[in-house]
């Protein structure tokens, strides 16, 4: 699963529309910022630090694009709704990327510098996972020289933990060499590691719900836990926001009531019929859907996220 406000530039555990798009790139063309230009002409380590600092202050793609390598920019396609993307983009990178990194190892290879990284502090999106003793978070970055300036070719992070709810893995960042994450079940997003969900069905179900949800108003982090039968019938459904949002929760409940039966659950997923999702939307700002992530049981922490439960 992925959030792709800049395809090839940022990958995370959701998909969004209303300026954010599934299966197509979203792009922005901006002049390189003075900050990126100045840092890009200095030492690579300092450029890397400046890049991560810029991520913490970014209000939209325009603040990050100047740091990116040409091969990343080539994956971008312009759209007219760039102004609406700012809040979603900023929230995503602020919550997923570390503000400061530790360089664990470094290798120079011609005009490229390869880094193994770890976060100085764990980003917000990984805070719950970080409570587990098994938690680990590692990043890898590659800088390249273009027109005499350093640029970010790769900035990819993986966070993992294992507890009573199962194995969790969250992956996000930019990596032009990485295959489309649709082909990597369980390897992108905060789904259980090891392919616990079938990516094709998950993509199909998410896209189906996206096409049917006529959202208005706003909903902030509305969690959904459901059980899908072999025929696509939803036999269990729990909906709740981290903060009580009755109108938004009712809209999500109405969505699921109107679309049953869902696309049939594949036979090889019969042992993992429980799924959870997260919806986030706002007027004139589009909608993000994270999930569905299929498991043998609904994780307890998902139910605890629902303030009304």
Nearest CA to 262 out of 191, 212, 192 is that of 212
Q: What is the average pLDDT across 33-44?
A: 70
What is the band of 296 on the pLDDT scale with cuts at 50, 70, 90?
Answer: confident
Most confident of 97-101, 124-128, 164-168: 97-101
In this predicted structure, the answer to whether residue 24 has a pLDDT above a threshold of 50 is: no
Q: Compare 95 and 158 and report the one with higher pLDDT.
A: 158
In this predicted structure, the answer to whether residue 13 has a pLDDT above a threshold of 70 is: no
Q: What is the pLDDT of residue 75?
A: 65
Q: What is the average pLDDT across 115-135?
A: 87
What is the band of 23 on the pLDDT scale with cuts at 50, 70, 90?
Answer: very low
Q: Compare 19 and 269 and report the one with higher pLDDT.
A: 269
Q: What is the pLDDT of residue 159?
A: 87
What is the band of 179 on the pLDDT scale with cuts at 50, 70, 90?
Answer: low
Q: What is the pLDDT of residue 195?
A: 35
Q: What is the pLDDT of residue 25?
A: 26
- For the segment 55-73, what is each residue's pLDDT rounded down to a tens digit? 888 887 778 888 989 888 7
Q: What is the pLDDT of residue 41?
A: 67
Q: What is the pLDDT of residue 12?
A: 37
Q: Is 100 exposed, middle or buried (0-12, 13-18, 19+ CB in 10 A)?
A: exposed
In this predicted structure, the answer to whether residue 2 has a pLDDT above a threshold of 80 is: no
Cβ–Cβ < 8 Å for 106, 115: yes
- Which residues lie closer than 8 Å to 179 by C-beta, 6 or more apart? none
CA torsion 264-216-85-202 (nearest 10°) is -10
Q: What is the average pLDDT across 204-218?
A: 85
Q: Compare 259 and 126 and report the one with higher pLDDT.
A: 259
Most confident of 200-204, 213-217, 244-248: 244-248
């Amino acid at each position: 699963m992925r959030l792709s406000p800049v395809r090839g530039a940022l990958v995370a555990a959701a998909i969004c529309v209303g300026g954010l798009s599934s299966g197509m790139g979203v792009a922005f063309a901006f002049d390189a910022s003075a900050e990126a230009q100045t840092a890009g002409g200095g030492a690579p380590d300092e450029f890397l630090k400046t890049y991560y600092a810029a991520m913490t202050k970014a209000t939209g793609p325009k603040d990050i694009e100047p740091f990116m390598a040409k091969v990343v920019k080539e994956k971008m396609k312009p759209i007219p709704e760039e102004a609406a993307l700012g809040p979603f983009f900023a929230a995503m990178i602020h919550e997923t990327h570390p503000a400061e990194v530790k360089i664990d190892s470094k290798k120079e290879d011609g005009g490229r510098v390869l880094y193994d990284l770890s976060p100085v502090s764990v980003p917000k999106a990984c805070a719950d996972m970080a409570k587990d003793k098994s938690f680990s978070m590692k990043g890898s970055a590659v800088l390249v020289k273009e027109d005499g300036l350093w640029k970010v070719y790769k900035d990819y992070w993986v966070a993992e933990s294992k507890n009573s709810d199962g194995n969790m893995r969250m992956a996000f960042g930019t990596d032009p060499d990485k295959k489309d994450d649709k082909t990597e079940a369980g390897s992108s997003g905060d789904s259980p590691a090891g392919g616990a969900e079938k990516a094709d069905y998950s993509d199909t179900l998410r896209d189906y719900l996206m096409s049917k949800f006529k959202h208005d108003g706003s909903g902030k982090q509305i969690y959904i836990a459901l059980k899908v039968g072999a025929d696509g019938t939803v036999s269990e459904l729990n909906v709740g926001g981290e903060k009580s949002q009755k109108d938004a929760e009712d809209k999500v409940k109405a969505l699921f009531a109107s679309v049953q039966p869902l696309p049939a659950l594949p036979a090889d997923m019969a042992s993992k019929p429980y799924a959870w999702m997260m919806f986030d939307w706002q007027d004139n700002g589009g909608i993000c859907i994270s999930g569905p992530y299929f498991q043998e049981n609904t994780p307890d922490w998902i139910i605890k996220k629902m303030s009304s439960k």
